[in-house]
Chains A and B, each alone.
Chain A
Amino acid sequence: AQKVTQAQTEISVVEKEDVTLDCVYETRDTTYYLFWYKQPPSGELVFLIRRNSFDEQNEISGRYSWNFQKSTSSFNFTITASQVVDSAVYFCALASGTYKYIFGTGTRLKVLA
């Protein structure tokens, strides 16, 4: 069975703080893809990153960074120096096999000024 767990339902931080959003996944497939999406209040989903199962190299994009560890089946997302505009719901997703995408339940991030 495939599953994505985002244990943090809601996180509140003060602007400029760093924050890490956790994502733990389960799959029996050896080839799979992991994603992070941002959903601002407008509802539209914004693609942030895609990582395939053979690439464990961590990635940094501006204030965003991702830590992929197959040993712990985790794909955590860190925002450095958070800003109010980062306030949104963030979804982690897994795709493999039939390319059916499984989304986590999301983490609502509130960045307070």
Chain B
Amino acid sequence: GAVVSQHPSRVICKSGTSVKIECRSLDFQATTMFWYRQFPKQSLMLMATSNEGSKATYEQGVEKDKFLINHASLTLSTLTVTSAHPEDSSFYICSPASADKRELFFGSGTQLSVL
């Protein structure tokens, strides 16, 4: 399977700070990047979809100004949680997809804890 690198794996931050999560596809070109959020004991919920070089499309209820997504290259996408609050504490998972999008690859996830 494809190799996906997601960093950091765990981050603890103070309320009001911003946190950047990086996701790299190491052996294929990710034309599309999906970002998911998973609260404890719940399923993965799609937050946004981004195509390389384009603005991201956000799911209903997800604030685009709070969750900034940059997908400037075919191998790197970042999710920045701006002015994080305790309710943003969650497990964030990136998922780069190739052009046909028939198989998803997942990053190892980032556990964000906002104090």
Q: Which residues of A contact B (CB under 8 A)?
A: 33, 35, 37, 42-45, 47, 50, 91, 93, 95, 99-101, 103-106, 108
Contacts and interface: CB of A to CB of B under 8 A. Distances in A.
Contact of B106 (A42, A44, A95): A44
A100 B95 CA distance: 12
Contacts of A42: 108
B44 interface: yes
Interface stretch (B18-26, B64-72, B73-81, B97-105): B97-105
B49 A50 contact: no
Given A44-B108, A108-B41, 18 more contacts: A35-B104, A43-B91, A43-B108, A45-B106, A45-B109, A91-B44, A95-B101, A95-B102, A95-B104, A99-B97, A99-B102, A100-B46, A101-B34, A101-B95, A101-B104, A105-B42, A106-B42, A106-B43
Contacts of A91: 43-44
Query: Of A43, A91, A103, A105, which is in contact with the most chain B CB atoms at under 10 Å from its CB?
Result: A43
Contacts of A101: 34, 46, 95, 104
Contacts of A93: 104
Contact of B102 (A33, A37, A103): A33
Given A100-B49, A101-B34, A47 B103 contact: yes
B25 to A, nearest CB: 15
A43 to B, nearest CB: 5
A50 B42 CA distance: 22
Contacts of B95: 101
Contact of B43 (A35, A50, A105): A105
Contacts of A37: 106
A14 to B, nearest CB: 23
